[in-house]
Amino acid sequence: MQGKEDRLKAVPLFSHCSKRELEFLASRVDEVSIPTGKTLLTQGQPTDTFYILLDGEVEVTVDGKPLK
C-alpha cells in the first residue's frame, strides 16, 4: 500500500498528513482509470464520491459552459 500513500502525499491537500493518516486514507481509496470523454459528475446530481486527479486533464463545465 506504500504506493498509494506516496501518491496521496504528493497531492498538496494531503502533503502535511502524518504517516498514520496517509495509511488510513490509502486503505480506503480505490485507484481507477477513466476513459477519455467519460463524464465523472453531473452538475446538480448528488454524489458520495471524491476524485483526486493524479495524471491527465479534466474539463469542468458549469451550466454547459467550460470553466476556465
4-24: pLDDT as tens digits: 999 999 999 999 999 999 999
User: How many whole angstroms separate alpha carbon 27 and alpha carbon 65?
Assistant: 36
| Amino acid occupying residue 38 | K
> How many independent structural domains does the chain possess?
1
Kindly report, residue by residue over 19-66, the tens digit of the pLDDT.
999 999 999 999 999 999 999 999 999 999 989 988 899 999 999 899
Return the CA Rg of the chain: 14
State which amino acid sits at residue 31: E
The boundaries of the domain holding residue 37 are 2-66
pTM of the model: 0.70
Q: Which helix (H) or strand (E) holds 10?
A: none
Nearest to 55 by CA among 27, 29, 36: 36
